[in-house]
Amino acid sequence: MQAEDRKIIESIKAGGLDEFAKLYDAYVKKIYNFIYFRTHHKETAEDLTSQVFFKALEKIRQFDETRGAFSSWLYRIARNTVIDHYRTKKEEANFDEAYTKASHANLNEQIDAKNVIEEVGKYLDILRPEQKEIIIMRVWDELTYQEISEITGKSEGSLKMMFSRTMGELRRELPLAIFIVFIIGGKFYGRYH
């Protein structure tokens, strides 16, 4: 999609702001899921997703494709928006809270996904926040190492090494059934959002 994104962005920078709708349509579900997994609150995720796309539209002329893909730039905006959200609410901006918060809205739709997240969350507590973030981005958000590198500013090599070591830790610590749920969890979770 990078080539198509590039054409759309060029058109937007040339004044065709209505082209932004194509980028929105291509990424809104992914960004919403990324945010929802970190907030576990439907309305908050919707609000923050809107903020992300508003910020992206506002700053689209500053996007520099030589510094990474548009998708990575958008995920970086989403990540920073979630962190800002927790800071303004005077809550610690870490991913531990994402596992303990539960949405009371649409509980019937979310119960299966919530159970998976809670079960996996118990085992993810053994990880450092940095490890959790990379595992979540790679397994649940299905981002490439290149995208994670562009989002976090860490090298692809160090991310691959950290991911491999962390997965080794999880394999040793998790019962096999939970490890399997963890690995397929991202796909399971995605069916509900």
CATH number of the structural domain spanning residue 74: 1.10.1740.10
- Asked whether residue 83 falls in the same domain as residue 115, the answer is no
Residue 68 clears pLDDT 70, i.e. is over it: yes
Supply the CATH number for residue 142's domain: 1.10.10
Structure tokens at 18: 């209505």
Query: Could you tell me if residue 118 is inside a domain?
Result: yes
**How many domains would you assign to the chain?**
2
Total residue count of the chain as it appears in this document: 193
Does residue 72 fall inside a structural domain? Answer: yes
What confidence tens digit (pLDDT) does each residue in 31-54 have? 998 998 888 889 999 999 999 999
Residues 68 and 115 in one domain: no
Residue 96 included in any domain = no
Domain that holds residue 57: 2-88
For residues 22-33, average pLDDT: 93
Q: Can you say whether the dihedral through the CA atoms of 155, 156, 161, 162 is positive or negative?
A: positive
Indicate whether 125 and 47 sit together in one domain: no
51 by Cβ neighbours in 10 Å (0-12 / 13-18 / 19+) ranks as middle
Q: Are 9 and 60 in contact (CB under 8 A)?
A: yes
The verdict on residue 143 lying in a domain is: yes
The reply to whether 75 and 145 lie within a common domain is: no
CB crowding 94-125: b at 16 or more within 10 Å, else e: ebeebbeeebeeeeeebeebbebbebbbebbe
- How far, in Å, are 162, 173, 176 from residue 179 at the CA level? 17, 9, 5
Tens of pLDDT along 123-142?
666 778 888 888 888 877 88
**Which three-class secondary structure state does DSSP give residue 130?**
helix
What contacts 28, CB < 8 A, 6 or more positions away? Answer: 49, 53
Q: Among 18, 53, 88, where does a domain finish?
A: 88
Residues 136 and 73 in one domain: no
Q: What pLDDT is attached to residue 154?
A: 92
User: Mean of the pLDDT values across residues 10-30?
Assistant: 90
In angstroms, the CA 141 to CA 187 distance is: 9
Say if residue 125 is in the same domain as residue 64: no
Last residue in a domain, options 88, 118, 137: 88
11 and 81 belong to one structural domain = yes
- The conformation of residue 61, written as its DSSP 8-state character, comes to G
Residue 112, phi then psi, degrees to nearest 5 = -65, -45
